[in-house]
Amino acid sequence: MNPTQDSSSYRPLSTSTVCMLARSYLASGAVRAEEIGDGNLNMVFRVSSDVDSVVVKQALPYLRLAGDSWPLTLDRARVEAEALELEQRFAPGYTPSLLHFDSAQAALVLEDLRGYTVWRELLVSGKEVDGVPERVGSFAAKVLLGSSPLLMPEAERRTLLSRFPNTEMCAITDDLVFTAPYVDSPTNRWEDDITDAVLSLRSDKAILSAIAKLRYDFRTRAEALIHGDLHTGSVMVSSGDTRIIDPEFACPGPIAFDVGNVLANLMLSRLAHEAAGDEWFAKAVGGMLDRFWEAFAADVRQLWPAREPWREEFLVDLLGDSARYAAAEMIRRIVGMAHVSDVDRLPEPCRSVASSHVLQAGRSLLLGRRPRSLEELWERAVSVPGYG
């Protein structure tokens, strides 16, 4: 909660109190609620009348994944509400509608994306829905360029970005993505079979230096309002529509962090399917990554201001930087606190094989020359020693 707000009336919602909070956003009549959240951070309810429904997402004052030993700001709910409004401004129709923000309860009343499925779940079950990577690419280009100095007057941009200090959420990313996986942290966990690879990452000076540089870049490069957690679990898909959810990690940051997150989670999916022997879908996921980047780049080219004579250089540099951030995201999803179901759902020995290949890909993408094209990116991610 922001320091100027009074948190004394805050109470974790229950299935009965959430009905009172949401009632006026539903058709009249009896309403009922069920808890539907399975994330790491919040309570999420579906509140339904006989004819319609909304979702209520309430921030808890601690990290759900870790329990009340890890206190966490409620202000992330305000950040999420304001980020959603901003994303709607730059990319109308790409996020769920925000119907109401209750600052006392740190709760958002949102359009219910009933009938949509989390993109990661579709990928895990080997399903491809047309147009999803393209929508995510367009969303990223519109919001990231829209809140960058390329498209927003600088005075307005600095004022806007100052609304998103999001200190504690950035500290989570700083720790879980750029720090803990490379030290002996109690939050880390990995498959026994890859212990040697994990310890060798931690003692590799070139890797530690590359990660330290990325962490510095993440902390200092307030380039745009980034989503901050743009993985395939933050994308909801129906036939014909795709929405991007959960911008509670939104903060001023490097565009490459968001782009790298999408690349990483698609590479994780591809490597997991390959380890499971599902070559056909692995290849399909590779195509999704290519189409995400191509849609992103096409929108960047279209939105790019004529006064700036470095558009193609921006895209080449961005792909290279995104590959570095993708590596950090891939490694932490294998070694760190928050894993992904793409890999964790695999039976052994496929899980260890996938984990090991992800670490090799991460290492290869972190070191050496930055890839300048998708071909070079794939070469670095899959043509690694011991792979295959």
Lay out the site mask for Mg ion across 232-251 (x = CB under 5 A, - = otherwise): --------------x-----
Rounded to a whole number of angstroms, the minimum distance from the CB of residue 42 to Mg ion is 8
The residue number whose beta carbon is nearest to Mg ion equals 246
Residue 65 or residue 206: which is nearer to ligand SR1 going by CB?
65
DSSP 318-338: HHHHHHHHHHHHHHHHHHSS-
Please tell me the distance from the alpha carbon of residue 224 to that of residue 144, in angstroms, as a whole number. 6
8 A C-beta contact, residue 303 and residue 31: no
Amino acid letter, residue 97: S
Chosen from Mg ion, ligand SR1, none, partner binding at 172 (C-beta under 5 to 8 Å by type): ligand SR1
Indicate whether 191 belongs to the interface with Mg ion (CB under 5 A): no
* Token pair for 22: 């949401």
Binding partner of residue 319 among Mg ion, ligand SR1, none, CB under 5 to 8 Å per kind? none
Provide the minimum distance between the beta carbon of 295 and ligand SR1 in the complex, in angstroms, as a whole number.
Answer: 23
**Contact mark string toward Mg ion, 195..234, x via CB under 5 A:** ----------------------------------------
CA distance 255 to 148: 9
How far apart, in whole angstroms, are the C-alpha atoms of residue 76 and residue 224? 18
Q: In the complex with ligand SR1, which residue's Cβ is closer, 111 or 175?
A: 175
Q: Which residue has the tokens 């307005």?
A: 156
Nearer to Mg ion, 173 or 322 (CB): 173
Our CB check for ligand SR1 shows the closer of 63 and 224 to be 63
Output the smallest distance, CB 104 to Mg ion, in A. Answer: 23
Rounded Cα gap, residues 248 and 348, in angstroms: 34
DSSP 180: G
Least Cβ distance, residue 338 to ligand SR1 (angstroms): 4
DSSP codes of every residue in 36-97:
---SSSEEEEEEE-SS-EEEEEEE-SEETTTEEEEE--THHHHHHHHHHHHHHHHSTTSS--
Minimum Å distance from CB 229 to Mg ion? 5
Residues of the shown chain interacting with ligand SR1 in the complex, contacts defined by CB under 6 A: 40-41, 63, 65, 172-173, 176, 229, 338
Distances (CA, A) of 126 to 65, 113, 120: 27, 21, 10
CB of 229 to ligand SR1, least distance (A): 5
Number of residues in the chain: 388
Q: How far is the CB of 235 from ligand SR1 (least distance, A)?
A: 12
Number of residues that bind Mg ion (CB under 5 A): 1
Kindly tell me which of 35 and 376 has the beta carbon lying closer to Mg ion. Answer: 35
The alpha carbon of 77 is separated from its chain's Cα centroid by a whole number of angstroms, namely 16
Q: Which residues bind Mg ion (CB under 5 A)?
A: 246
